[in-house]
Amino acid sequence: MSHNSQNGEEQNISCCDPALLRRKAEEILKERMPVPSKDNICADEVALVHELQVHQIELDMQNEELERARSEAEMLHEKFVDLYDFAPVGYFTIDRIGTILEVNLTGCLLLGQERQKVIGRRLQTFMLPGSIPAFNLFCRNVTGSGTKEICEVELFSDGDKRFFAHVEGTEMPEKREDSGKIRMTISDITLRREAEESLRESEERFHILFEQSPIPYQSLDADGRFLEVNSTWLDLLGYRRDEVIGHWFGDFLVPEHVSRFKRNFPEFKKNKITSDIEFLMKNKDGSIILTSFDGKVGLNPDGSFKQTHCVFRDITEKKQVEEALIESEKRYRALFEDSPVSLWEEDFSAVKLWIDSKNAEGITDLKAYFSRHPEDVRSCARMVRVNGINSTTKALIGLKSEEDCYKDLSATFSDGSYFTFKDEIILFAAGITHYQGIGVIKTLSGEEKDILIHCSVVPGYEKTWEKVLVSIVDLTDRVAMERSLRQANSKLNLLSSITRHDILNGVTVLLGYIDLASEKTTNPELKCYLNNLDEAAETIRHQIEFTKEYQEIGVNAAAWQNVSDVAVTAGSTFNRDHVILTTRCGDIEIFADPLLQKVFYNLFDNAFRYAAPFTEITVTCERRDGGLSVVFADDGAGISDEDKKKLFKRGFGKHTGLGLFLSREILAITGITITENGEPGKGARFEMTVPKGGYRFATKS
């Protein structure tokens, strides 16, 4: 029978209330069939049939209600199973020793195992050994307590994967069938633990950075009292932390700077930033340091003031250095302006850029390039800018104002000036930042003056040549005097030559008569006198010959000479069939007397006279201690220690005894010294030491 005409709510009510159920059943029966006729049926039968029909309807209604309740229960069970299995946490039911009795799907996924492989195993078998004691304590605390307990353990997943888990659990009440069992949830908190670890490491790094930062840090509240300082702050000023925190910043300033802080702090809070604010701070030991502060204001979420964040630097030494530099600059400017030497401060940067562009084009030999393009030397001269000159320079070239010189440096160049300028920039391009030479400068009136010029790239500007300091000494009067001296010396040399010639003629005649007298006499005493006369005459002849050699020394002006060329020329006068000459001086030139070739001639002569047998002579150059060492060496017998002591004395030796003595005198004219430092038996080694500024590189090597 079907009773769909009645709604579910009414059926539910009728099943709960018997009277209502009967009333509803009778109403349904009345609707189904009419009341039977009483003519042929007795009243008892009618009543019995009616009662049976009503009971039948009641049973049908109750069956329908039970079926509906069963369907709803199944639906709720399926929903509960889904919620249980697919919950975001693992649900576990274990006994008191950790044996897994029930587990949801999420719990299986956490452990990386199928359900049947998990049930019956102790949960501890999925834990790292270090987590088992904590979990066992958790189980003991849950048992009998009736309260929820928590713990964190590290579990294995799928055999080798690990994850951190948060465990919460309670014991089931005693009255329930599952009493004594522990129900718990397990959540994967690996990401949280990693985030916590990252946060901890970040905080640790920040703390280390804060405490070990080389920059002092401080934080003030709105009243200017210390909230925090780092260790660098404390170490610099010598205070303990408890002596600083909570104290007013002004207490750590010198009295005259307290008012500065009172004035600046409100502005700082208003502007929310400050920089390069200087304060004199008091060290605990009583010393004073000058500090420079930079800072920002930290704000609350509502934008109101929270605290300051400031760092500062101890600029005491920096300030002293700056003041010293200012004072040094003043002294430099005073020396620059008042110097009796003509001084120029020039900018060669445009020339440097031009040379770099030529190098980029593959042109590296500037000497050869300028030989082909001499007009570019003049172009380079026009690129130089004059930044400053002193009063001596104005007087030297006849300037009325500095601007006349600033416009074009080449206005002071004569034709001869470009040769000096060319050598100068070739040397700079080779990496040599100092140049010295003899040149010519032209005054604004057109007069040419002989000068000694020295140029240096100021340290720190080697890559740009923006600052080049040039000093010029006027040699015009000196050159004129030297010219007069040379003329006078020429006349004296002529007179000396005539006198020497006459004396030598007389000595020759004297020696002839002595020889004749010695042949004519047999008197031993007289022969002894004649021998003495002969020796005296020979001594006079040697003295006269010495004056001939010595009169040429220092007569002519010193000049730049290529070491290799001079050595090769001097050696070419000797028969070197079995001797190899090797020079390793490249394009180095030294500033020496024109008789430098005579020096090398004497060294070759000394080798061929005393070093035989030998096979090689080497001439090498090496920069040393700012100067230059020129070594002339052979592989012969060498010189004994006894002979070394007298080697450069006049008259020592088997020949005239003048060669090495004169060589030393020739070199000494320009400050060059010569020594012999070879080892006896391993060859002679003559070392000539050229002072700083006395050598240069003719071209870029």
Q: Report whether pLDDT(416) > 90.
A: no
Name the burial class of residue 494, with classes exposed (0-12), middle (13-18) and buried (19+) by CB atoms within 10 angstroms of its CB. Answer: exposed
* Class in CATH terms, 559-697: alpha beta
Query: Looking only at Cα atoms, what is the longest distance across the chain?
Result: 218
Angle between the 524-550 and 476-520 helix axes, to the nearest 10 degrees? 160
Which tens digits make up the pLDDT trace of 328-342? 888 877 878 878 888
More confident residue, 235 or 488: 235
What distance in Å separates the CA atoms of residue 106 and residue 85, rounded to the nearest whole number? 6
Q: Report whether pLDDT(152) > 90.
A: yes
* Confidence band for 13, pLDDT divided at 50, 70 and 90: very low
User: In this structure, is the dihedral angle defined by the CA atoms of residues 481, 483, 487 and 490, taken in order, positive or negative?
Assistant: positive
| Spatial CA neighbour of 35 closest among 47, 21, 18 | 47
Residue 93 in contact with residue 178, Cβ under 8 Å?
yes
Identify the weakest region by mean pLDDT among 103-112, 160-169, 573-582.
Answer: 573-582
Q: Report whether pLDDT(380) > 50.
A: yes
For residues 244-256, average pLDDT: 96
Protein fold of 339-474: Beta-Lactamase (3.30.450)
For residues 646-668, average pLDDT: 75
Q: Report whether pLDDT(644) > 90.
A: no
Q: Report whether pLDDT(373) > 90.
A: yes
Name the burial class of residue 367, with classes exposed (0-12), middle (13-18) and buried (19+) by CB atoms within 10 angstroms of its CB. Answer: middle
Q: Report whether pLDDT(39) > 60.
A: no
pLDDT value for 33:
65
Instruction: Assess if CATH 3.40.50.720 describes domain 213-320.
Output: no
Q: Report whether pLDDT(8) > 80.
A: no
Q: Do domains 86-196 and 559-697 have the same CATH topology?
A: no
pTM over 0.85: no
pLDDT value for 6:
45
Which tens digits make up the pLDDT trace of 55-67? 777 787 777 777 7
pLDDT value for 25:
74
Amino acid at 560: W
In the beta sheet, which residues pair with residue 581?
Answer: 617
Q: Report whether pLDDT(699) > 60.
A: no
What distance in Å separates the CA atoms of residue 268 and residue 297, rounded to the nearest whole number? 8
The percent of residues in the chain predicted with pLDDT above 90, rounded, is: 45
Which tens digits make up the pLDDT trace of 393-402? 888 888 776 6
The domain ranges of the chain are: 8-84, 86-196, 213-320, 339-474, 480-550, 559-697
Name the burial class of residue 373, with classes exposed (0-12), middle (13-18) and buried (19+) by CB atoms within 10 angstroms of its CB. Answer: exposed
- DSSP H helical ranges for 611-658: 641-644
Q: Report whether pLDDT(88) > 90.
A: no
The per-residue DSSP string of 211-252 comes to HH-SS-EEEE-TTSBEEEE-HHHHHHHT--GGGTTTSBGGGG
Long-range contacts formed by 190-194: CB under 8 A, 24+ apart: 190/163, 190/164, 192/164, 193/164
| Spatial CA neighbour of 631 closest among 623, 639, 619 | 619
Helices and strands (H, E) in the chain, number of each type: 22, 23
What is the pLDDT of the chain when averaged over all its residues?
A: 85
Q: Report whether pLDDT(34) > 70.
A: no
More confident residue, 537 or 688: 688
Instruction: Assess if CATH 3.30.450.20 describes domain 86-196.
Output: yes
Q: Report whether pLDDT(584) > 90.
A: yes
More confident residue, 267 or 4: 267
pLDDT value for 445:
83
* Confidence band for 144, pLDDT divided at 50, 70 and 90: confident
| Spatial CA neighbour of 106 closest among 187, 12, 213, 218 | 187
* Confidence band for 3, pLDDT divided at 50, 70 and 90: very low
